[in-house]
Structure 1
Amino acid sequence: MRAPLLEELNKRILIGDGAMGTLLYSYGIDRCFEELNVSQAEEVRHVHEAYINAGADVIQTNSYGANRIKLARYGVEHEVTRFNRASVQLAKQAARPETYVIGTIGGIRGFQKQSVELQEIRAGFREQADALLSEGVNGLLLETYYDFDELREVLQIARALTDLPIITHVSMQEPGVLLNGMTLSQALKNLEELGADIVGTNCRLGPFHMIEALRGIPLPKKAFLSAYPNSSLPDYREGKLHYENEPEYFKKYAVEFRNEGVRLLGGCCGTTPIQIQAFKQGISELEPLESKVVTLHQEVIKVSNSGDVPESSLYNKVLTGRSVFVEFDTPRHLNTANFFKGVKALQDAGADAITMADNSLASPRISNAAIGRLIKDRFDVPPLVHLTCRDRNLIGLQSHLLGLHVLGLHNLLIVTGDPTKIGDFPGATSVYDVSSMELIKLIKRFNEGISYSGKSLKQPTHFRVAAAFNPNVRNLERAVQRLERKAECGADYFISQPVFDKERIIEISEATREVSAPIYIGIMPLTSARNAEFLHNEVPGIRLPDDVRARMAAARDKEEARRVSLDIARELIDTAMEHFRGIYLITPMGHYTMSVELIKYIKEKESKLAVQANGAGVTL
């Protein structure tokens, strides 16, 4: 009679199976793998049999993504119970009397943590776990969890549902550290304390790096240690992923995994029965490791709070008094003479910062980082650089942030970015690997000296983060709620889209009364009646009142249109200065002289208000 799984692990090292998807993919199948439990059951059973023939003692059900959330991508979310029960039945049909069948449940969250709420994950997990347990599995495997919060939540649910063995696998981007900066050693200890019977890691790393991660891991006190490495780093050939498969390499590393205390050894992405057989051969004559001496050389990751970050003069202005920022976009060509002439004029007028969009309206311009550095070197006005989620993937965003820090550009405005369809190259890809909120969190993590993957940056960055605020919506309360969520993510202050309605400015003031972070109200002078109509009818997030459009339409020539536009802007500024300390001037189409006039107006008005306040004994 077969001993229970944990009793068997106490006596010997067990071999798990390899990747289900890799084999199915090699057969030419490229769709929802969990649906195959019903439509192509024989193919799934053959995969199980291949791994058992190769020496696997423990096989997983084909249920990694058989949850309501992932199945919804294929329109089969109503089939959760059917697919999961079928996965157990197929594994049992393939199993030998000595084979252990483990019900597999994969992680949901990856890079985009907040794309799925924990409440939804909990409900989906419970539904899937119930289906697997109802068919009599020998245990549960919770694998490929990049988000430790998610794994902690579902482990507690699983532990409440069953006394069967539970295996928990975290996944790492960097050897030895999780995405949240927690060390692998601490993560496995926490999982053991929460009731996991077998703790370990799978996916992302091949044998070499997984062994490196395990070197500093002591043997668990109560649980057993497991490892399911990838076959190798993937190669991309003719539109498909390929993994190298050298069995002797895996046979050699099986010994090293044993020497680090691993009791359950299987494979993840790219592994096939060839690697599993090599693992089996590698540990065939080895006894489990009973004790392990670990010398920890853990790198200290410096965590810096806001008090440790050198404050920029710009952020001090944000916090301490009235200020005016001017958006002045970089040129779409290489003749920069007029642009820098405009910067000089804006500086002389008294602008407190020059801000530059990140390829506004999805059209290419000179890099705002390059121009920002030149402004920093040549002028006495700080640059504020916009950063969108649209143009760079997660790799490029992190590289760009590191570069901005090295360049000394520490003031950022984070925006989602206009979709590429509205720009000069509508066929270009909009990336959006992260949302604006996730990007704010990433930047704040950099300020702690930790990269997105959890690895130390060796020193913290010093960014101050402004976030975009769009009040030009029907439901202002919802827009303020989004603003508050950005503040929770770490936004230091906010800059609004242009507002063209005095009453709306007052409404914004009332709606944001409880918001502690400073808010800059966007004011953009119009250039003509055509410009007004274009903004009102075609630019997302901008609406103009009827009277503003009528006043612009009544202008008889360019000069009158300019005068009317500046009058409208001054009226908006008057209202904004009654309710907010910050003004954000948006220079229209490079017409910096309009911004210069408005800066002078703001500064003169500010001086008058200061005199009045001093006379009344009030501090502004």
Structure 2
Amino acid sequence: MSFLEKLQNQILIGDGAMGTLLYSYGTDCCFEELNLSQPRQIQNIHKAYIDAGADVIQTNTYAANYLKLQRYGLEDYVKEMNSAAVRNAKKAAQNNAYVLGTIGGNRGVKPDSVSLEELKRSFREQLYCLLLEGVDGLLLETFYDLEELETILTIARKETKLPIIAQVSLQEPGILQNQTPVNEALTRLEGLGADVIGLNCRLGPHHMLLALEQIELPKHAFLSAYPNASLPAYTDGKFHYEGDADYFRQSAQSFRTQGVRLLGGCCGTTPEHIRAFASELKNNVPVTEKVVKLKPKKIVVEPSAVKREFAPLQEIVKERPSVIVELDPPRKLDTTKFFEGAKALKEAGIDSITLADNSLATVRISNESLGYLVKQELGMRPLIHIACRDRNIIGLQSHLMGLHTLGLNDVLAITGDPARVGDFPGASSVYDVSSFELIQMIKQLNEGLSFSGKDLGQKTDFSIAAAFNPNVRSLEKAVKRLEKKVHFGADYFISQPIFSEEKLMEVYEHTKHLEAPIYIGLMPLLNSKNAEFLHNEVPGIKIADSIRERMALLNDNPLQAVRVGIDITKSLIDAALDLFNGIYLITPFLRYELTAELAVYARQRAAELRGSIYAENTI
């Protein structure tokens, strides 16, 4: 009797985790490679699940695709691993269990981390390998991104008439990370030809059952569920699961009541968990009717309850010249000079003081705390830089929620210098997301949705700046990055410092089509050593030979070198204001008196160029 024919009249038991067992045995490598190097071990795990009562087992191929295998340098072994995996499963099954070819999701919680074209190519290669080995069906599992699953399900349905199980994974019970209700998502999968639709991973029995309460019985397909054993724990450098197999036995009938016909286990489950399911449900008659108890409510997100005190910078700079100044948080705990500088810059009439996020991976006082004090005590607008380097996705969202709560609405999203360039070279760089994805996620917060798609109850009101490095070989490619950042949601740009009028004109010609305004970065040089260091060692900064030569002539006159540095920057301000409304001054080594002087100069030049209205206290 075929797999689907059996599901017509009885509940089938699936297997449990493969990777969790291998990890618990001390194996911490590419699990799919073990299909080749340790086939007996893989076969024994399959057999253990069959002996526990599994009617259906899945091949050890969850990550056996090009995209995931390239992390280990094994991308050329896709065919060998998938073929061996099917042979191992069949040898263990010996016609006593159905063998499903497993294909896992790639995108996770970062929908744009892999393009659809890359996904299609990688999927097709793995799909054909599994089909050629004669699997009994396909299991598409652990898909957080519905677009990815719909895309590959469409391809699979065209390529085979074998049964296809399509399972989504949820961050929150009842809703996908893109806010699609789970019932709607599964209905769409059924419409694309999936024979079995359901849930797996992330949620344990309790929360998975809550999600299933919102799912109607499919019209033509069947329901599946593969819950995790529990939430994972982390002890002594290792992950482990503490879910009790008896807890699975107690929940088995509840899964049946919710209409599940294929029931297995995901992360943390063992043969004992599967034995518990089988002892309760083996060959049970499935339900044909159920009451959907909970319907997901339409989310109505309230506007931000935190009043914005300053107009967004992108609006200001579109209307009139604007000057913002970067003043780095100090490396030591004494903030006296920092606040002296902030006061001087306020008197200079700047629109915002920008605070870097541990620039050059060097530890400084939190820019969030200093930004809040600048706003509260001085009444200035802080612009908070946010680097992807130091926080994972959890920390990034928490940080942004904190900024919102403090009324700090202006942010600059950057990838951040790698940790190894800073004063803790042994520290790790996180980089869960890039600046592109961070921009997109902040925009999602502005819609009242968390990074995982959960309702936040309020919309944030962030104005998002993005970084622009014009000091590259190909300005065309750099501008393409700007266009991509605009697509992801950037409101305006702040550039790395520019040190020549020729570069200013080149930037203008390449960016004048953009609607998002640009603040042009300018930085006064202090001496020749400063210029050489910036030019040769700091990523994203290049200084014209003529300027470096000019500074080199003043090695014996440091005061004159500073004045020349100021004069160079003033001439660049003149040139920049002919082309752009935004000036971004970078303060070197807390020498705030320099950027204060330059800010006043910029105000005066703007007044001369565009009228006396710009000579008022605030530019």
Q: What's the TM-score, normalizing by structure 1?
A: 0.95
Cα distance between partner residues in 1 of 2:376 and 2:23: 55
Equivalent position to 2:286, from 269, 288, 293: 288
Give the corresponding residue for 1:26: 24
Larger mean CA deviation between 100-109 and 549-558 belongs to 549-558
Cα offset, 1:27, TM superposition: 3.2
Cα offset, 1:435, TM superposition: 0.5
Cα distance between partner residues in 1 of 2:559 and 2:236: 60
Does the Cα contact within 8 Å between 2:307 and 2:407 map onto a contact in 1? no
Cα offset, 1:336, TM superposition: 1.8
Cα offset, 1:112, TM superposition: 3.7
Instruction: Give the number of aligned pairs.
Output: 612
Cα distance between partner residues in 2 of 1:367 and 1:99: 58
Cα offset, 1:76, TM superposition: 2.4
**What is the one-letter code of the residue matched to 1:457?**
L
2:604 is the alignment partner of 1:611: no
Instruction: Give deviations 1:57-113, integer Å, cap 9, x for gaps.
Output: 111111111112222222222221222122222222222435211111111122343
Does the Cα contact within 8 Å between 2:519 and 2:583 map onto a contact in 1? yes
Cα offset, 1:35, TM superposition: 2.0
Instruction: Give deviations 1:117-165, integer Å, cap 9, x for gaps.
Output: 2211111111111111112211100011111111111111101101111
Cα distance between partner residues in 2 of 1:548 and 1:248: 75
SS of the aligned residue for 2:112 comes to helix
Gaps of 5+ in 2: none
Rate the CA distance shift 1:309–1:542 in 2: closer, same or farther, 3 A.
same
Rate the CA distance shift 1:296–1:432 in 2: closer, same or farther, 3 A.
same
Rate the CA distance shift 1:598–1:518 in 2: closer, same or farther, 3 A.
same
Cα distance between partner residues in 2 of 1:311 and 1:465: 16
Cα offset, 1:436, TM superposition: 0.6
Cα distance between partner residues in 2 of 1:76 and 1:284: 39
Give the corresponding residue for 2:123: 125
SS of the aligned residue for 2:472 comes to coil
Does the Cα contact within 8 Å between 2:318 and 2:581 map onto a contact in 1? no
Larger mean CA deviation between 409-418 and 214-223 belongs to 214-223
Give the corresponding residue for 1:184: 182
2:616 is the alignment partner of 1:591: no
SS of the aligned residue for 2:256 comes to helix
Larger mean CA deviation between 516-525 and 28-37 belongs to 28-37
Does the Cα contact within 8 Å between 2:174 and 2:296 map onto a contact in 1? no
Does the Cα contact within 8 Å between 1:314 and 1:353 map onto a contact in 2? no
Rate the CA distance shift 1:264–1:312 in 2: closer, same or farther, 3 A.
farther
Give the corresponding residue for 1:535: 534
Does the Cα contact within 8 Å between 2:326 and 2:355 map onto a contact in 1? yes
Give the corresponding residue for 2:494: 495
Cα offset, 1:613, TM superposition: 11
Does the Cα contact within 8 Å between 1:528 and 1:558 map onto a contact in 2? yes
Cα distance between partner residues in 2 of 1:380 and 1:109: 43
Does the Cα contact within 8 Å between 1:326 and 1:586 map onto a contact in 2? yes
Cα offset, 1:518, TM superposition: 0.3
Rate the CA distance shift 1:245–1:607 in 2: closer, same or farther, 3 A.
closer
**What is the one-letter code of the residue matched to 1:594?**
L
Rate the CA distance shift 1:25–1:420 in 2: closer, same or farther, 3 A.
closer
Does the Cα contact within 8 Å between 1:412 and 1:466 map onto a contact in 2? yes
SS of the aligned residue for 1:565 comes to helix
SS of the aligned residue for 2:574 comes to helix
The correspondence of residues 571-590 of structure 1 with structure 2, limited to 5 A, is: 571-590=571-590
Rate the CA distance shift 1:322–1:538 in 2: closer, same or farther, 3 A.
same
Cα offset, 1:191, TM superposition: 0.8
Give the corresponding residue for 2:255: 257
SS of the aligned residue for 1:126 comes to helix
Cα distance between partner residues in 2 of 1:588 and 1:489: 31
Rate the CA distance shift 1:165–1:311 in 2: closer, same or farther, 3 A.
farther
Does the Cα contact within 8 Å between 1:302 and 1:449 map onto a contact in 2? no
Does the Cα contact within 8 Å between 1:112 and 1:434 map onto a contact in 2? yes
Give the corresponding residue for 2:330: 331
2:444 is the alignment partner of 1:414: no
SS of the aligned residue for 2:442 comes to helix
Cα distance between partner residues in 2 of 1:548 and 1:303: 53
Larger mean CA deviation between 330-339 and 199-208 belongs to 330-339
The correspondence of residues 461-472 of structure 1 with structure 2, limited to 5 A, is: 461-472=460-471
SS of the aligned residue for 1:465 comes to strand
Does the Cα contact within 8 Å between 2:302 and 2:457 map onto a contact in 1? no
The correspondence of residues 111-150 of structure 1 with structure 2, limited to 5 A, is: 111-150=109-148
Cα offset, 1:26, TM superposition: 3.1
Cα distance between partner residues in 1 of 2:547 and 2:423: 29
Give the corresponding residue for 1:617: none
Cα distance between partner residues in 1 of 2:359 and 2:156: 48
SS of the aligned residue for 2:61 comes to coil
Give the corresponding residue for 1:242: 240
Cα offset, 1:295, TM superposition: 3.4
Cα distance between partner residues in 2 of 1:38 and 1:343: 63
Cα offset, 1:14, TM superposition: 0.6
Rate the CA distance shift 1:386–1:45 in 2: closer, same or farther, 3 A.
same
Cα distance between partner residues in 2 of 1:196 and 1:560: 75
2:290 is the alignment partner of 1:275: no
Does the Cα contact within 8 Å between 1:330 and 1:368 map onto a contact in 2? yes
Cα distance between partner residues in 1 of 2:446 and 2:75: 40
Give the corresponding residue for 2:431: 432
The correspondence of residues 508-523 of structure 1 with structure 2, limited to 5 A, is: 508-523=507-522
Cα distance between partner residues in 2 of 1:239 and 1:336: 38
Cα distance between partner residues in 2 of 1:73 and 1:336: 44
Gaps of 5+ in 1: 615-619
Give the corresponding residue for 2:38: 40
Instruction: Give deviations 1:156-194, integer Å, cap 9, x for gaps.
Output: 110110111110111112222222222211211111111
SS of the aligned residue for 1:274 comes to helix
Rate the CA distance shift 1:526–1:563 in 2: closer, same or farther, 3 A.
same
Give the corresponding residue for 2:197: 199
Give the corresponding residue for 1:65: 63
Cα distance between partner residues in 1 of 2:135 and 2:505: 62
Give the corresponding residue for 2:563: 563
Rate the CA distance shift 1:70–1:221 in 2: closer, same or farther, 3 A.
same
Q: What's the TM-score, normalizing by structure 2?
A: 0.95
Larger mean CA deviation between 22-31 and 536-545 belongs to 22-31
Instruction: Give deviations 1:1-41, integer Å, cap 9, x for gaps.
Output: xx222221110111000111222233333322222222222
Aligned CA-pair RMSD: 2.0
Cα offset, 1:304, TM superposition: 8.1
Equivalent position to 2:169, from 165, 168, 171: 171
Larger mean CA deviation between 354-363 and 176-185 belongs to 176-185
Give the corresponding residue for 2:317: 318
Does the Cα contact within 8 Å between 2:310 and 2:381 map onto a contact in 1? no
2:605 is the alignment partner of 1:601: no
2:162 is the alignment partner of 1:161: no
Cα distance between partner residues in 1 of 2:408 and 2:364: 18
SS of the aligned residue for 1:387 comes to strand
Does the Cα contact within 8 Å between 2:500 and 2:543 map onto a contact in 1? yes
Does the Cα contact within 8 Å between 2:200 and 2:227 map onto a contact in 1? yes
Does the Cα contact within 8 Å between 1:301 and 1:450 map onto a contact in 2? no
Cα distance between partner residues in 2 of 1:559 and 1:310: 43
**What is the one-letter code of the residue matched to 2:176?**
L
Give the corresponding residue for 2:484: 485
